[in-house]
Amino acid sequence: MIDIDQANQTAVERMMSARPILRRVVRAADVIPGLAERRLLHAGPPITWEQASGPLRGALMGACIYEGWATDAAAAEKLLASGMVPWEPCHHHYAVGPMAGVISPSMMVYVVENTTHGNFAYSNLNEGYGKVLRYGAYSEEVLNKLRWMNEVMGPVLAAALEVSGEGIDIRALLAESLHMGDEGHNRNKAGSLLYTARLAPWIVRVAPDSDTAASIIKFLADNALSVLNPVMAACKAMADAGHGVAGSTVMTTMARNGTELGIRVSGLGDRWFTGPAGAPDGLYFPGFTAADANLDIGDSTITETAGIGAFAMAAAPAIVTFISGTPQDAVNATLEMYEITVAEHTAFTIPVLGFRGTPTGVDIRKVVELGVTPRINTGIAHREAGVGQVGAGLTRPPLSVFEDAIVAYAATYLD
């Protein structure tokens, strides 16, 4: 007989003891296992061109132009619709990307090593705000910024990390930023400053000239999401450490492609359980309404999977000015998540809850039994390709994906 509780403890203890160190910045195709040339990665579970939403299509098209495989949007669309450029989930390659999550072969990626268990995870560089590829925009301005990020900033970050020696402990950085009003998903203001301040002296030393150094430091410092991508890679490294424990009902993946949301479960291998992605409820930028919103999209729910993000919202009461609600709602969000999780995180604590550990390791049994689904903090993309971000808010996955996973679990372990 399987001791499910014991299996879950093993899974969540592996997640919490994982120590994710940001080691390097490297060209994606040179480091991500299985990312061949002329192939794209994207957020969420697998999806066809026909099913793909506007922002995902836009980001895939933009990546084709960025890589020089197509000269314009029409050509890029043709290339993708014809199957000449295949795309696969980031999660199939130990990678994660925010929003559309598109990673193309020549983009630079962060390399995070879990030094406790030896696994690696990857994420791309954060583009900042405004019109950006991850929200499906692909204008010349968007692509020029990507070129600067990957051709100018990326090599400097790589050299800065290399000369700094020991790498950056992202779990320690997150623990600190949760004491500074971040929740690690939608609010990474403190974490991004900690990250920038840590790297800046090294950037100064390795940059080709002072103007380049100043531009890179300013780009990182002005973007309150600079550290989101290293944080996501760290959460992926932690979640992966808890994956594959026989008999465990702990959720180890939750991701959305803009059409569907998918989860994976520690004891159920690499099988996805998918359902419709949610419609976020939140605050919109001036000139936009819910009618403009795409369904929920992105791998960034790896943060909630690892015990931060919406699960740590009590640590980030100021976030409600950005995503709606009151500070008490933020506290309640965290309290509710204790109902469906296995453990309280040993590294991530919440001062206002008396330094209680964040709720960590969603047990799909509890989700189904209580009908309480995980909470998600998210950005909101415009539904059409080429526009960008229109707001930020809250959503949840469909209960059905957890029910489907329970059925599969029963078939696997209890027959």
Give min distance, CB of 178 to a second copy, in A.
Answer: 9
**Which CB sits closer to a second copy, 99 or 194?**
194
With beta carbons less than 8 A apart as the criterion, state whether 235 and 308 touch.
yes
Alpha-carbon gap, residue 181 to 372, rounded angstroms: 26
Residue 34's Cα: distance from chain center in Å? 20
Per CB under 8 A, which region of 206-214, 289-297, 363-371, 374-382 contacts a second copy? 206-214
Query: Which of 193, 168, 164, 188 lies closest to 178 in space, CA to CA?
Result: 188
Element (H or E) spanning 172, and its range?
helix 170-177
Per CB under 8 A, which region of 113-121, 125-133, 251-259, 315-323 contacts a second copy? 315-323
**180 binding a second copy? (CB under 8 A):** yes
Give min distance, CB of 166 to a second copy, in A.
Answer: 15
Per CB under 8 A, which region of 11-19, 78-86, 205-213, 360-368 contacts a second copy? 205-213
Q: Is residue 397 left, alpha or beta, with left meaning phi > 0 and alpha meaning psi from -120 to 50?
A: beta
Query: Using CB under 8 A, which residues numbered 47 to 66 contact a second copy?
Result: none
Query: Using CB under 8 A, which residues numbered 345 to 384 contact a second copy?
Result: 351-355
**Which CB sits closer to a second copy, 199 or 255?**
199
Query: Which of 376, 343, 335, 347 lies closest to 360 in space, CA to CA?
Result: 343
**179 binding a second copy? (CB under 8 A):** yes
Q: Cβ–Cβ contacts within 10 Å for residue 1, how many?
A: 6
Q: Which residues pair with 393 in a beta bridge?
A: 282, 378
**181 binding a second copy? (CB under 8 A):** yes
**228 binding a second copy? (CB under 8 A):** no
Alpha-carbon gap, residue 189 to 167, rounded angstroms: 21
Query: Using CB under 8 A, which residues numbered 250 to 269 contact a second copy?
Result: none
With beta carbons less than 8 A apart as the criterion, state whether 363 and 8 touch.
yes
Q: Which residues pair with 255 in a beta bridge?
A: 262
Interface with a second copy (CB under 8 A), residue from 72, 205, 369, 410:
205
Q: Is residue 179 left, alpha or beta, with left meaning phi > 0 and alpha meaning psi from -120 to 50?
A: alpha
**Which CB sits closer to a second copy, 115 or 215?**
215
**159 binding a second copy? (CB under 8 A):** no
**166 binding a second copy? (CB under 8 A):** no
Give min distance, CB of 221 to a second copy, in A.
Answer: 4
**189 binding a second copy? (CB under 8 A):** yes
Interface with a second copy (CB under 8 A), residue from 10, 114, 196, 303:
196
Joined tokens for residue 340:
């469906």
Per CB under 8 A, which region of 29-37, 47-55, 75-83, 187-195 contacts a second copy? 187-195
**221 binding a second copy? (CB under 8 A):** yes
Residue carrying the six token digits 């950056």: 168
**163 binding a second copy? (CB under 8 A):** no
**290 binding a second copy? (CB under 8 A):** no
Give min distance, CB of 223 to a second copy, in A.
Answer: 11
Number of amino acids touching a second copy (CB under 8 A): 35
Burial class (CB in 10 A: 0-12, 13-18, 19+), 400: middle
Give min distance, CB of 173 to a second copy, in A.
Answer: 12
Buried b or exposed e, range 401-414, using 16+ CB within 10 angstroms: bbebbbebbeeebe
**Which CB sits closer to a second copy, 194 or 245?**
194
Q: If you ran DSSP here, which 8-state letter would residue 240 be given?
A: H
Task: Name 120's Cβ contacts closer than 8 Å, sequence gap at least 6.
Answer: 94, 111, 112, 113, 114, 237
Q: Which residues bind a second copy (CB under 8 A)?
A: 179-181, 189-190, 193-194, 196-198, 200-202, 204-205, 207, 210-211, 213-215, 217-218, 221, 317-318, 320, 326-328, 351-355
